[in-house]
């Protein structure tokens, strides 16, 4: 059929008949209208086979036309497992089928189906494990080459994926008649409403199903509801959007295109509808056999005539609606086979009778008959139902190329189950029902088992008003919810007809037949969860959407329980497959830059990540780390260097109890610290472990400015706040890290450089000694200047308000030129401090390090009545050391430089590990620090380090620091 | 994702909060025995049912107390620490240098 031969409008709702496009499937070219799905365009051209089945390689075609079955999975160039029935075809798209060998029409593996009776459920577990080793060597390679679906394109370049937050009073999931009515009711009451639907068109079943009365009744209802929704200012509509999961407190994951919406709704109304189910009879998987609603979608959405001669198998009035739509589309309807013995007559069935269609009641399709190539249905064997699930011995063969199945529905219960709702079964109506919805979740429409149009809309309105009440936007009494009536009964109780030759498929994804499910129960796996795992029923791509109901019925029957007792397996998010990119795509991690960031980049810095910050590692070419580090370090030792220390934490503690708070928070003593002096401050946790360090500067009797490590400041700040929440000292604690930025100017010439820019502070050694702090101006910027010596040279930390940072940097670099000033990075700083024997918390300490182990016992004030960690430190100090941090040098110039965490050995015994190690350009040898056994820590003793590639290196323990032990350099 | 009501900032995603452990009173640093301190430092009640916990709204560093039911996963209430800690705490006033 060429595209011009499609059915006339109003059929073809999704088509744009002004744009003809062309695409490839396998090695043939096909035409389509813009708006066609891959499957609809293929069906229109007579190509009914879309794939081969997973296990028996049977030909498979359209089943649901709603993206709910694995038959429709095809391969796109960079997208495996694409749903052909819902994916729009694009011009020049190249589509291939999946899971076949040879050609799609003549699959060389189709012979496997003939052996299906030797491959019952669980045969994996029984057949392939003897003799030993046979699985890995023989069976696994064979099975793996035959199983599996699409092919991943490993050269695939990912597109742009991101995330967005959305907030709404009411989220309505599903825009069928119930969802549209619910959205309108909630929006009319003043709530903001987000209406989410997976389809391209609003209207749900109204876009394809047949209502009683005029042929266009559904279209007219749809038009009314959709135009009201479109005109409503309070309603935001999201089409082609999949609500893939409900998470606690109404957090919904909604995927639209390449964006994941994180929706927070105060109320959720689930109007997800229901999914039509297949009937189960021999060869029910043949191409040409589809759900009634699939045929209606082909007609109404795509203007495709689904066949020439049809048999409709039904258990409800919807099948008659399907038959009417088929007749209107020019399909001959050979018979409507109604499984009900005495169906109640209604408008639809009377219309069918009036049009002269043969109605066969109390009968079922016993078997579908394939053509010679076994690729399409050519007839069905219709037999009377003699007992539940049993057919008479003889019947009638009716030729047809289309079979429509309308035996009933399963509610789309997944979202409700994510939220803790439970699936029950109503024996009177043979339907799954839902109960136990959490607060702030409502449901309406066919998901509740409501099918009569007026009741569905009424239930939607009721849910909308219930949401308004829950939001406090309405206090008026609401009319009672509509109740299900006889006309809402849509499920035939037992549309399952076993055949002696089998091939009655319960699960199309996994090629499971009635017998397979029963075998599982006979093998002792009676629980529905075990049946699932033993048979793999419901584990395929369609996740039981068309197999859960039949499986529950069959297991219930085989185990003598009710369907309600048997239940269904757990439904977990995601509802539909989602791309890893949706979750992994752009994330919200912040990145912090200091005020001097651009100057570092301009100077050619290689940046490293420190927490959220980017810091200059060294200045120079990527591969030149060691040379750059050495050059920068030597310049600090010989001239003067400048390092950005803006990332250091800054906390201001202000108030009458400022000193008292520090006394309690830090291990050292601060009460008598003089104004204008700095003190080293070590912080322990309650377990006595060293967790941070910094410098406490007393700027005023009642004001301390305390620095903290880059990565630790938030923790330090929170710890102070938490402790003071309990102590209630009279202090104000403020994290001023981002208020201030800073540099450390260090080296023998640093005083001379600083003097050029700082005239209101006496920088002489007498007036401004080591560990002094002064407030003044540098380059006319108000500054806090601390004389500290992390790198072991004369040096000043200059902290200024952060927006002056770049200016400060520029002025210092400018006046420093004649003194040989150079910037130095974090790597050089780490080397310099190692030479000076200073530890870095977190590098030279771990989660067990108490002060004495890392040579900080001098910084612990033992006479204080209390500080955080004091009791634990007292306890561990009575037990003696089990390890100690010690300095080492490696004299052998040819030995490889050990890396952090290389092991320290004493013979065969591991006694510690290296924490820091560098080649020191100043000292001309490799130096480092390591945890060693206490008996190894004595200067002069020798330890063995297991270095790179297991090479054993001798190291000599030395007294710290390595450089300038008399502190002459930093105190000059 | 769960929501939690911060007494300062209102309802926020629970990913914005940091858990701070159970509310326990600290033993006396001088007079209580080592085993009392070991119990306090290294053992936690972890009951099935009602718990009182420290929580911190990370972005604002605001600490508060939450009452939670660990069986039903409900946050029963959250309130400022000042409701629990009302008096200044002092340790023995020895002169320190």
pLDDT of residue A789: 83
Chain A to chain B, count of Cβ pairs less than 8 Å apart? 81
Share of chain A above pLDDT 90, in %: 84
Check residues A51 and A115 and name the one with the higher pLDDT: A51
Cross-chain Cβ contact A722/B20 below 8 Å: yes
Residues 38-67 of B with CB under 8 A from A: 41-42, 54, 56, 58, 61-63
Task: Please write down the HEC assignment for all residues of A15-56.
Answer: CEEEEEEEEEECCEEEEEEECCEHHHHHHHCCCCCCEECCCC
What ipTM is given for this predicted complex? Answer: 0.96
Q: Tell whether B92 lies on the interface with A, counting CB pairs under 8 A.
A: yes
Residues 6+ apart with CB under 8 A from A110: A52, A56, A57, A58, A374
Cross-chain Cβ contact B87/A247 below 8 Å: no
Share of chain A above pLDDT 70, in %: 98
Cross-chain Cβ contact A871/B20 below 8 Å: no
Report the domain count for chain A: 6
Q: Tens of pLDDT along A608-626? A: 999 899 999 999 999 999 9
The verdict on residue A833 lying in a domain is yes
Out of A838, A871, A906, a domain closes at: A838
Looking at residue A795, which CATH number applies to its domain?
3.30.1360.120
pLDDT of residue A67: 94
Structural domain containing residue A267: 162-275+410-488
Parallel, antiparallel, or unpaired: how do β-strands A332-338 and A359-361 relate? parallel
A689 and A732, same domain (yes or no): yes
- B95, pLDDT greater than 50: no
pLDDT of residue A183: 98
Identify which of A363, A366, A357 has the alpha carbon closest to the alpha carbon of residue A342: A363
A503: left (phi > 0), else alpha (psi -120 to 50), else beta?
left
Q: Tell whether B72 lies on the interface with A, counting CB pairs under 8 A.
A: no
pLDDT of residue A99: 80
Which residues in chain A have Cβ-Cβ distances shorter than 8 Å to B31?
none
- A3, pLDDT greater than 80: no
**Would you call A580 helix, strand, or coil by DSSP?**
helix
Looking at residue A957, which CATH number applies to its domain?
2.40.30.110
Cross-chain Cβ contact A725/B61 below 8 Å: no
Nearest CB to A729: which of B27, B37, B88? B88
Report how far residue A691's alpha carbon sits from residue A840's, in angstroms, rounded to the nearest whole number: 10
Cross-chain Cβ contact B29/A861 below 8 Å: no
Q: Tell whether A590 lies on the interface with B, counting CB pairs under 8 A.
A: no
Q: Tell whether B81 lies on the interface with A, counting CB pairs under 8 A.
A: yes
A817 and A755, same domain (yes or no): yes
Which residues in chain A have Cβ-Cβ distances shorter than 8 Å to B54?
722
Which residues in chain A have Cβ-Cβ distances shorter than 8 Å to B30?
865
Cross-chain Cβ contact B56/A726 below 8 Å: no
Parallel, antiparallel, or unpaired: how do β-strands A251-256 and A363-370 relate? unpaired
Out of A580, A614, A639, a domain closes at: A580
A754 and A811, same domain (yes or no): yes
Residue of chain A minimizing CA distance to B41: A687
A715 and A699, same domain (yes or no): yes
| pLDDT bucket at A132, cuts 50 / 70 / 90 | confident
Q: Tens of pLDDT along A622-675? A: 999 999 999 999 999 999 999 999 999 999 999 999 999 999 999 999 999 999
Which residues in chain A have Cβ-Cβ distances shorter than 8 Å to B81?
725-726
Q: Tens of pLDDT along A274-287? A: 999 999 999 999 99
- B96, pLDDT greater than 60: no
A750 and A826, same domain (yes or no): yes
A136 and A184, same domain (yes or no): no
Looking at residue A687, which CATH number applies to its domain?
3.30.70.1400
A629 and A749, same domain (yes or no): yes
Q: What is the DSSP letter of A119?
A: S
Residue to substitute from B29, B52, B57, interface A, most A β-carbons within 10 A:
B29
CA distance B87 to chain A (A): 7
The verdict on residue A606 lying in a domain is yes
- Tokens 């509610």: give the residue: A411
Cross-chain Cβ contact A721/B89 below 8 Å: no
Nearest CB to A870: which of B29, B63, B86? B29
A187 half-sphere exposure, CB direction, 13 A CA radius:
21
Q: Tens of pLDDT along A181-192? A: 999 999 999 999
Q: Tens of pLDDT along A755-785? A: 999 999 999 999 999 999 999 999 999 999 9
Residue to substitute from B30, B43, B91, interface A, most A β-carbons within 10 A:
B91
A632 and A768, same domain (yes or no): yes
Which residues in chain A have Cβ-Cβ distances shorter than 8 Å to B93?
865
A728 and A743, same domain (yes or no): no
CA angle A117, A121, A122 (to 5 degrees): 120
Residues 238-257 of A with CB under 8 A from B: 247-249, 251
A449: left (phi > 0), else alpha (psi -120 to 50), else beta?
left
| pLDDT bucket at A841, cuts 50 / 70 / 90 | very high
Q: Tell whether B9 lies on the interface with A, counting CB pairs under 8 A.
A: no
Cross-chain Cβ contact A865/B94 below 8 Å: yes
The verdict on residue A901 lying in a domain is yes
Which residues in chain A have Cβ-Cβ distances shorter than 8 Å to B62?
721
The verdict on residue A280 lying in a domain is no
> What are the contacts of B15-18 at 24+ separation with CB within 8 A?
B16/B57, B16/B58, B16/B59, B17/B55, B17/B56, B17/B57, B17/B58, B18/A718, B18/B55, B18/B56, B18/B58
Residue to substitute from B90, B96, B97, interface A, most A β-carbons within 10 A:
B96
Q: Rounded to whole angstroms, what are the CA distances from A69 to A239, A406, A573, A718?
A: 21, 16, 17, 53
Report how far residue A606's alpha carbon sits from residue A116's, in angstroms, rounded to the nearest whole number: 63
The verdict on residue A854 lying in a domain is yes
Helix spans in A639-758 (H): 658-665, 713-727, 750-757
Cross-chain Cβ contact B29/A865 below 8 Å: yes
| Cβ pair A802, A737 in contact under 8 A | no
Query: Beta partners for B3?
Result: B13
pLDDT of residue B97: 37
Cross-chain Cβ contact B41/A686 below 8 Å: yes
Q: Tens of pLDDT along A873-904? A: 999 999 999 999 999 999 988 899 999 999 99
Nearest CB to A672: which of B29, B92, B97? B97
Residues 697-756 of A with CB under 8 A from B: 714, 717-718, 721-722, 725-729, 735
A253 and A183, same domain (yes or no): yes
Nearest CB to B92: which of A247, A729, A865? A865
| pLDDT bucket at A587, cuts 50 / 70 / 90 | confident
Parallel, antiparallel, or unpaired: how do β-strands A690-700 and A678-684 relate? antiparallel
Nearest CB to B2: which of A248, A725, A866? A248
Residues 6+ apart with CB under 8 A from A760: A776, A777
Cross-chain Cβ contact A864/B96 below 8 Å: yes
The verdict on residue A942 lying in a domain is yes
- Tokens 């959007």: give the residue: A241
A83-87, A173-177, A424-428, range with the lowest pLDDT: A424-428
> Is the peptide bond between B33 and the residue preceding it cis, with omega within 30 degrees of 0?
no
| Cβ pair B75, B5 in contact under 8 A | yes
The verdict on residue A533 lying in a domain is yes
| pLDDT bucket at B93, cuts 50 / 70 / 90 | low
Q: CB neighbours (10 Å) of residue A673? A: 18
Residue to substitute from A245, A247, A249, interface B, most B β-carbons within 10 A:
A249
Cross-chain Cβ contact B87/A728 below 8 Å: yes
A630 and A769, same domain (yes or no): yes
Which residues in chain A have Cβ-Cβ distances shorter than 8 Å to B10?
none
Q: Tens of pLDDT along A73-82? A: 999 988 899 9
Out of A430, A465, A488, a domain closes at: A488
Which residues in chain B have Cβ-Cβ distances shorter than 8 Å to A687?
41-42
| pLDDT bucket at A213, cuts 50 / 70 / 90 | confident
Cross-chain Cβ contact B81/A663 below 8 Å: no
The verdict on residue A384 lying in a domain is no
CA distance A331 to chain B (A): 50
Q: What is the DSSP letter of A102?
A: B
Phi then psi dihedrals of residue B86, to 5 deg: -110, -15
Which residues in chain B have Cβ-Cβ distances shorter than 8 Å to A866?
29, 91
DSSP string spanning A309-356?
A: EEEEEESSTHHHHHHHHHHHTT-EEEEEEE-SSSPPP-HHHHHHHHTT
A719 and A856, same domain (yes or no): yes
Phi then psi dihedrals of residue A613, to 5 deg: -85, 155
pLDDT of residue A785: 98
What mean pLDDT is reported for chain B? 92
Looking at residue A530, which CATH number applies to its domain?
1.10.10.1100
């Amino acid at each position: 059929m060429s595209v011009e031969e499609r059915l006339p409008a109003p059929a073809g709702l999704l088509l744009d008949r002004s744009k003809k496009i062309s695409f490839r499937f396998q090695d043939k070219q096909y035409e389509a209208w813009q708006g066609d799905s891959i499957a609809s365009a293929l069906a229109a051209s007579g190509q009914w086979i879309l794939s081969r089945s997973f296990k028996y390689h049977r030909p498979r075609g359209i089943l649901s036309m709603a993206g709910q079955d694995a038959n429709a999975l095809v391969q796109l160039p960079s997208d495996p497992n694409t749903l052909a029935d819902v994916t729009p075809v694009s011009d020049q798209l190249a589509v291939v089928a999946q899971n076949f060998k040879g050609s799609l029409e003549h699959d060389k593996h189709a012979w496997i189906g003939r052996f299906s009776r030797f491959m019952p459920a669980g045969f994996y577990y029984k057949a392939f494990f003897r003799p030993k080793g046979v699985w890995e060597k023989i069976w696994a390679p064979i099975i793996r080459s035959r199983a599996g679906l699409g092919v991943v394109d490993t050269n695939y370049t990912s597109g742009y994926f991101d995330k967005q937050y959305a907030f709404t009073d009411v989220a309505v999931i599903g825009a069928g008649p119930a969802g549209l009515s619910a959205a309108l009711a909630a929006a009319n009451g003043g709530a903001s409403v987000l209406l989410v639907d997976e389809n391209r068109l609003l209207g749900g079943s109204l876009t394809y199903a047949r209502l009683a009365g005029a042929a266009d009744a559904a279209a007219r209802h749809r038009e009314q509801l959709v135009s009201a929704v479109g005109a409503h200012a309070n309603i935001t509509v999201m089409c082609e959007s999949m609500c893939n999961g409900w998470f606690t407190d109404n957090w919904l994951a909604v995927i639209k295109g390449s964006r994941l919406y994180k929706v927070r709704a105060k109320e959720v109304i689930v109007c997800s509808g229901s999914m039509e189910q297949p009937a189960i009879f021999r060869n029910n998987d043949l191409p040409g056999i589809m759900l009634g609603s699939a045929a209606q979608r082909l007609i109404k959405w795509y203007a495709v005539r689904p066949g020439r001669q049809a048999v409709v198998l039904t258990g409800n009035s919807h099948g008659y609606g399907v038959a009417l739509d088929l007749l209107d589309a020019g399909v001959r309807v050979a018979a409507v086979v109604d499984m009900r013995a005495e169906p109640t007559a209604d408008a639809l069935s009377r219309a069918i009778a009036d049009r002269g269609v043969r109605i066969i009641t109390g009968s079922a399709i016993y078997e579908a008959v394939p053509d010679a190539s076994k690729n399409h249905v050519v007839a069905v064997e219709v037999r009377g139902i003699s007992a539940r699930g049993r057919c008479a011995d003889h019947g009638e063969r009716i030729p047809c190329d289309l079979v429509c199945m309308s035996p009933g529905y399963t509610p789309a219960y997944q979202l409700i189950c994510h939220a803790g709702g439970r699936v029950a079964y109503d024996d009177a109506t043979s339907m799954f029902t839902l109960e136990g919805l959490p607060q702030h979740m409502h449901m309406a429409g066919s998901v509740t088992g409501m099918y009569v149009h007026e009741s569905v809309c009424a239930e939607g309105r009721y849910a909308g008003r219930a949401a308004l009440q829950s939001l406090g936007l309405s206090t008026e009494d609401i009319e009672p919810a509509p109740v299900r009536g006889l006309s809402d009964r849509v499920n035939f109780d037992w549309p399952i007809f076993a055949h002696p030759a089998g091939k009655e498929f319960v699960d199309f994804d996994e090629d499971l037949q009635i017998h397979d499910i029963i075998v599982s129960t006979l093998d002792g796996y009676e629980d529905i969860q075990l049946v699932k795992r033993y048979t793999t029923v419901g584990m395929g791509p369609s996740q039981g959407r068309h197999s859960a109901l039949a499986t529950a019925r069959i297991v219930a029957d085989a185990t003598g329980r009710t369907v309600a007792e048997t239940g269904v397996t757990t439904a977990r998010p995601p509802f539909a497959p989602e791309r890893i990119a949706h979750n992994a795509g752009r994330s919200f991690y912040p990145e912090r830059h200091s005020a001097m960031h651009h100057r570092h980049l301009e100077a050619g810095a290689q940046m490293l990540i420190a927490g959220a910050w980017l810091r200059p590692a060294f200045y120079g070419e990527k591969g030149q780390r060691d040379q750059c580090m050495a050059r920068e370090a030597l310049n600090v030792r010989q001239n003067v260097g400048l390092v950005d220390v803006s990332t250091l934490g800054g906390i201001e503690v202000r108030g009458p109890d400022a000193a008292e708070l520090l006394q309690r928070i830090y291990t050292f003593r601060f009460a008598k610290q003089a104004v204008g002096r700095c003190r080293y401050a070590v912080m322990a946790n309650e377990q006595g472990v060293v967790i941070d360090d910094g410098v406490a500067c007393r700027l005023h009797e009642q004001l301390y400015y305390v620095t903290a490590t880059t990565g630790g400041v938030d923790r330090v700040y929170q710890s102070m706040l938490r402790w003071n929440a309990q102590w209630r000292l009279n202090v104000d604690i403020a994290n001023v890290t981002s208020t201030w930025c800073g540099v450390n100017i260090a080296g023998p010439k640093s005083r001379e450089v600083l003097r050029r820019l700082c005239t209101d502070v006496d920088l002489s050694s007498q007036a401004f000694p080591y560990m002094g702090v002064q407030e003044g101006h540098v380059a006319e910027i108000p500054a806090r200047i601390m004389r500290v010596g992390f790198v072991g040279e004369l040096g000043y930390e200059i902290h200024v308000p952060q927006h002056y940072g770049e200016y400060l940097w520029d002025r210092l670099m400018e006046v420093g030129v004649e003194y040989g000033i150079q910037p130095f990075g974090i790597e050089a700083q780490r080397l310099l401090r190692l030479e000076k024997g200073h530890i870095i918390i977190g590098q030279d300490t771990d989660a067990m390090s108490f002060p004495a182990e890392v040579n900080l016992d001098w910084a612990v004030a033992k006479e204080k009545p209390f500080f955080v960690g004091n009791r634990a430190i007292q306890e561990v100090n009575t037990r003696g050391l089990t390890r100690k941090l010690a300095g080492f040098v490696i004299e052998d110039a040819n030995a490889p430089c050990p890396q952090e965490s290389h092991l320290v050995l004493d013979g065969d015994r591991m006694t510690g590990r290296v924490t820091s190690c560098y080649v020191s350009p100043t000292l001309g040898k490799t130096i480092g620090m390591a945890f060693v056994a206490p008996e190894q820590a004595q200067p002069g003793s020798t330890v063995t380090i297991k270095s790179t590639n297991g090479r054993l290196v001798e190291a000599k323990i030395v007294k710290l620091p390595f450089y300038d032990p008399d502190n002459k350099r930093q105190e000059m | 994702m769960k929501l939690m009501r911060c007494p300062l900032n209102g309802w926020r995603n629970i990913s914005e909060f940091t858990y701070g452990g159970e509310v326990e009173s600290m033993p006396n640093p001088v007079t209580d025995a080592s085993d009392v301190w070991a119990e306090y430092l290294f053992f936690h009640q972890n009951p099935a049912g009602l718990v009182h916990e420290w929580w911190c709204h990370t972005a604002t560093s605001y600490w508060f107390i939450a009452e939670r039911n660990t069986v039903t996963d409900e946050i029963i209430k959250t309130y400022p620490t000042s409701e629990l800690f009302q008096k200044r705490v002092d340790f023995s006033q020895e002169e320190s240098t």
